[in-house]
Amino acid sequence: MKRPERRQAVRLPLTFMVRYRYPGSQRAVWSSSPLRNFSRLGARFISEYPFQVGETVALQLILPTSEQPVWVESRVAWTQPSRLGMTELGVAFQLADVQTREAITEAAVFFSKEGQR
């Protein structure tokens, strides 16, 4: 079933990496996934864990425009089953930190200009 469009920012089809950790996990094990798309407000990727809508997930974005990985807390906005027992999910960034907001906005602006070329 198709979800109604509620995004406030254009998602860019990019394939850089995101690292994430399943909430409540006993070990500090991080998983990695390529992003399916990205915007200044959120992202979409495939997870090996079955996240639930509303859960908070810590992300580490490996942005080509930043020298260091960008850490951001996110809220799971939607999920859907994916292939091989994986879960596709969309997350909304919780941008409380000014530096994080600026780094993510800089990447979104950079890649939206690149897409217009």
Which pLDDT tens digit goes with each residue over 67-100? 888 999 999 999 999 888 899 999 999 988 899 8
Q: What pLDDT score was predicted for residue 35?
A: 86
Q: What pLDDT score was predicted for residue 54?
A: 95
Residue 38 pLDDT > 60, yes or no?
A: yes
Supply the pTM of this predicted model: 0.78
Which long-range CB contacts under 8 A does 13-16 form with residues at least 24 apart? 13/37, 14/38, 14/111, 16/61, 16/62, 16/63, 16/64
Secondary structure class of 95 (helix, strand, coil):
coil
